[in-house]
Amino acid sequence: MKKLKGLKCVSCGHVHAIEMIYECEHCRGSLDIIYDYESIFTENVSDHISEGGIWRHRSLLPIAANTEAVSLGEGNTPLLRSTALEVEFDQAEILIKNEAVNPTLSFKDRPLAVALTVAKQFGVEGVVTASTGNTGVAAAAYAARAGLPCRIYVPKGTPKEKLIMMEMYGAKIELIEGTFSDAYLVSGQEAKKNGWFNLTSTFLNPYAIEGDKTLAYEIYEQYGGVPDWIIIPIGAGPLLVSCYKGFRELQLAGKVAKLPRMVGVQAANCAPTVQAFEKKLKEVEPWGYSNQTVASGIADPLTTYPQDGTRTLTTIYQSEGCGIAVSDESIMHYQKWLAQKEGIFAEPSSATAIAAIEVMKEKGFLQNGDSIVTVVTGHGLKDLKSIR
Amino acid sequence: MKKLKGLKCVSCGHVHAIEMIYECEHCRGSLDIIYDYESIFTENVSDHISEGGIWRHRSLLPIAANTEAVSLGEGNTPLLRSTALEVEFDQAEILIKNEAVNPTLSFKDRPLAVALTVAKQFGVEGVVTASTGNTGVAAAAYAARAGLPCRIYVPKGTPKEKLIMMEMYGAKIELIEGTFSDAYLVSGQEAKKNGWFNLTSTFLNPYAIEGDKTLAYEIYEQYGGVPDWIIIPIGAGPLLVSCYKGFRELQLAGKVAKLPRMVGVQAANCAPTVQAFEKKLKEVEPWGYSNQTVASGIADPLTTYPQDGTRTLTTIYQSEGCGIAVSDESIMHYQKWLAQKEGIFAEPSSATAIAAIEVMKEKGFLQNGDSIVTVVTGHGLKDLKSIR
């Protein structure tokens, strides 16, 4: 594809050719796709308008114009004004981007639809992923749609509902003792052994995370501009980083003048990136404590890849955003509050993005007139253990 | 509202004024909203294009132009081509309309968003509904969004996941001994006593079911015309009847020439309407046998309101469609098949719409060149009992 210039290492800057690789060959840093934006922005974008959801933005994805999308109708999720939140926190404008309204009920459908389409482009024979749940569910569904076998490595304690979904879609599941970081290692070995495409989220798969950029394009279109703040729950944080990349692309295209301030939210019980932000560090360190939290979807201690947290932290600093940690008690409170006040049933990991507003207010980050978009990343029905 | 001409009884034809009533004052028949189509079709419809989902079609809903919608971003669900189904059944064109990709994971978000918006128009103090699950979940969520209290009457045996959702949204749930028909009676009494709006699906609430018409408008737009067949799982059958009404409106507007043939699907273990179709009867009789089936969402014996089944049967005849009964075994088979072949996890009641294609083929209803849209009405994650 002419529009893709290469895979650039975010650590050392080395540019690699477009291939099925996951890290810099020199320094093992994570990779970022670089585009020939000039050629893209002169293309007639309306060519893709008839494709729905994320595929309207195909020109800014690592997909050729004529490649058939592996799609289940992902994206184009609701952006809802929340009067209840505005009153609760005395803010002028709070909107909820509800990513639970996706085919497998989380934002992961964006990167996985892109990843499986790329998998078909590369002609692989199967796909592998590590997951805390949502990535695995999406990987299993999109692999089924693509007609490819799928193996998923999940930590023990992954919510039962997510396991049932993966199984229904026909994926092979391996339960791993330990945390997500342990599952991450095993899945990497398996992918290497079989030559299968590794879909693991974090920043491992540089193609998948490009799908996350479509969140930015949709917020821009639906909001009609750029909100002051965008709040996103983060494990490693690819959604936050890619969403910001999406807005930077809109800036390059001359569509927006300012950029949003990015807020990364973690559960206080597993908050490696937020801890680094609070200590004003430049680099994230692995989380050395227990990572027990109701927010299982973002309970990533970053044990063997703290540099992924650093990539997210760097974006937070660049955007003049902040890192926010929230307690399990507050997560459970706002999960229920949001369902009862607005009819939106978020999973605990997503309720962090509501709980964060309270902390931002307390810490003085917010002006009353600020506009806020907070992202509900997944549906509460996928994780009922926390409610019982 | 000038565009609404009245509520017409489908049995005796008497026209009532637009009020909060649920049946004909003369013969207790169900009611159908009649519109002044001439004034609607001369309106500038593009005024509503900026509203998303079902609200783009506001001009054909019983909602004033300036009424604020009680919306969670419902509608605009994916219409997906299914090569796997086309191969399986040797058909030229099969598409799946996936209504599980709605805020509360079923098509019920369409009628309930409309119903709660109408509830606000009427200025009621609360809402009531009987439900086998999906209506209750949607009613609870939209009532929360509208800021109205909600009481839900469900038969014992309603899937646990659906009860958890209703509870999360803050609704008050009453478990009723017996079938949906029993819950129907109690909810009616409660609504009358309190003056609360009765959202019960079946054809009771003439406003709610207008929301179902938006399914037709979307199929027309996404498919780019009218498919030969539309397959819909039915309890009483409001979705089937309203979808057909939607296509008739498109015909009146001069947008389409032909109309689709409507297929109503029931589980063989509870199939009052299909039985009447197979016996070539003009009227449906209540189901006199046990109604035990995995398809709990459509297990309605129509005990005290067989005329609702007759309304659906009449539409099936008018459209030159058919009624199809499918076995529990086939439902479970195609539920798994659909998840593994296409990455779509339908609830058992929805998998009937896949299983029906096999029976239509066997019975000689289908030509190989026919185009088919089959409707997946709700998400499998809302009903896990059947899988365990």
**Predicted confidence (pLDDT) per residue in A338-366, tens digit:** 999 999 999 999 999 999 999 999 999 99
What is the average pLDDT across B327-347? 97
**Residue in B closest to A76 by C-alpha:** B76
Contact A80 B100 (CB under 8 A): no
ipTM entry: 0.95
Closest CA to A143 of A115, A176, A162, A123: A115
* Three-state SS at A318: helix
User: At which residue do the structure tokens 């009922």 appear?
Assistant: A384
For the stretch A88-101, pLDDT in tens is 999 999 999 999 99
H or E segment to which residue B70 belongs: none
Helices (H), B195-297: 213-223, 238-252, 272-278
Integer-rounded Cα Rg, in Å, for chain A is 19
Residue with more model confidence, B52 or A321: A321
What is the average pLDDT across B273-282? 98
Note whether B347 and B105 are within 8 A (CB). no
CATH no. for residue B322?
A: 3.40.50.1100
Residue with more model confidence, A130 or A43: A130
pLDDT at B363: 97
The minimal CB distance from A144 to the residues B98, B222, B340 is found for: B340
Contact A168 B336 (CB under 8 A): yes
pLDDT at B179: 85
* Structural domain total, chain B: 1
Residue A333 located in a structural domain: yes
Mean pLDDT of chain A: 95
Model confidence band, residue B180 (pLDDT cutoffs 50, 70, 90): confident
B105 and A CB contact within 8 Å? yes
For the stretch B285-336, pLDDT in tens is 999 988 899 998 899 999 989 999 999 999 999 999 999 999 999 999 999 9
Provide the CA A151 distance to its chain's centre, in angstroms. Answer: 20
B100 and A CB contact within 8 Å? yes
Mean pLDDT of chain B: 95
Q: Of B36-50, B67-81, B269-283, which gets the smallest average pLDDT? A: B36-50
What is the average pLDDT across B327-351? 97
The C-alpha atoms of residue B32 and residue B38 are separated, in whole angstroms, by 18
Decide: residue A284, CB within 10 A, 0-12 exposed, 13-18 middle, 19+ buried.
buried
How close does chain B come to A99, measured CA to CA in Å? Answer: 10
B352 belongs to an annotated ligand binding site: no
Specify the pairing of strand B93-98 against strand B79-81: antiparallel
Note whether A104 and A381 are within 8 A (CB). no
Listed in sequence order, the residues at least 6 apart from B101 whose beta carbon sits closer than 8 Å to its beta carbon are: A73, A101, A102, A103, B77, B78
Provide the edge-to-edge strand list for the sheet that holds A127-130: A172-176, A150-155, A127-130, A197-198
Residue B39 located in a structural domain: no
Listed in sequence order, the residues at least 6 apart from A328 whose beta carbon sits closer than 8 Å to its beta carbon are: A267, A268, A269, A293, A294, A295
Does residue B235 have a pLDDT over 80? yes
Model confidence band, residue B1 (pLDDT cutoffs 50, 70, 90): confident
Q: Token pair of A54, please?
A: 């994320």
Contact B71 A80 (CB under 8 A): yes
pLDDT at A132: 85
pLDDT at A323: 98
Interface test with A, best of B56, B68, B72, B120 (most A CBs within 10 A): B72
pLDDT at A43: 75
Closest CA to B41 of B256, B257, B255: B255
For the stretch B87-112, pLDDT in tens is 999 999 999 999 999 999 999 999 99
pLDDT at A387: 76
Interface of A with B in 159-198 (CB under 8 A): 161, 164-165, 168-170
How close does chain B come to A374, measured CA to CA in Å? Answer: 15
The minimal CB distance from A169 to the residues B104, B345, B382 is found for: B345
How close does chain A come to B344, measured CA to CA in Å? Answer: 7
pLDDT at A180: 86
pLDDT at B351: 98
The C-alpha atoms of residue A155 and residue A125 are separated, in whole angstroms, by 25
Does residue B43 have a pLDDT over 80? no
Residue A350 located in a structural domain: yes
- What count of residues does chain B have? 388
Residue B339 located in a structural domain: yes
Percent of chain B with pLDDT over 70: 98
- Cβ-based contacts of B143 with chain A (< 8 Å): 343
Does residue B255 have a pLDDT over 70? yes
Number of CB atoms found within 10 A of residue B382's CB: 24
Specify the pairing of strand A4-9 against strand A31-35: antiparallel
Residue A249 located in a structural domain: yes
Domain of residue B254, residue span: 79-104+208-382
Q: Of A71-80, A173-182, B143-152, B361-370, which gets the smallest average pLDDT? A: A173-182
pLDDT at B42: 85
pLDDT at A181: 84
Interface test with B, best of A72, A106, A347 (most B CBs within 10 A): A72
Residue A178 located in a structural domain: no
The C-alpha atoms of residue B246 and residue B242 are separated, in whole angstroms, by 6
Contact A344 B170 (CB under 8 A): no
Does residue B245 have a pLDDT over 70? yes
**Residue in A closest to B334 by C-alpha:** A168
**Residue in A closest to B77 by C-alpha:** A73
Note whether B104 and B129 are within 8 A (CB). no
Q: What are phi and psi of B337, to 5 degrees?
A: -55, -45
Interface of A with B in 297-336 (CB under 8 A): 336
Does residue A290 have a pLDDT over 90? no
Provide the edge-to-edge strand list for the sheet that holds A31-35: A15-16, A4-9, A31-35
Tell me the C-alpha to C-alpha distance, in Å, between residue A4 and each of A19, A65, A120, B298: 11, 12, 17, 50
pLDDT at B47: 60
- Cβ-based contacts of B339 with chain A (< 8 Å): 141, 144, 168-170
Residue A99 located in a structural domain: yes
Q: Token pair of B292, please?
A: 């035990």
Note whether B136 and B171 are within 8 A (CB). yes
Number of CB atoms found within 10 A of residue B129's CB: 34
Note whether A63 and A117 are within 8 A (CB). yes
B34 and A CB contact within 8 Å? no
Does residue B337 have a pLDDT over 80? yes
pLDDT at B81: 96
Core vs surface per residue B223-234: b (16+ CB within 10 A) or e: beebbbbbbbbb
Residue B16 located in a structural domain: no
For the stretch B185-229, pLDDT in tens is 999 999 999 999 999 989 999 999 999 999 999 999 999 999 999
* Three-state SS at A95: strand
DSSP label at residue B123: T
Q: What are phi and psi of A259, to 5 degrees?
A: -120, 155
* Three-state SS at A329: helix
Interface test with B, best of A168, A333, A347 (most B CBs within 10 A): A168
Helices (H), B156-297: 160-168, 180-194, 213-223, 238-252, 272-278
Interface test with B, best of A49, A106, A145 (most B CBs within 10 A): A145
Q: Of A15-24, A139-148, A181-190, B135-144, which gets the smallest average pLDDT? A: A181-190
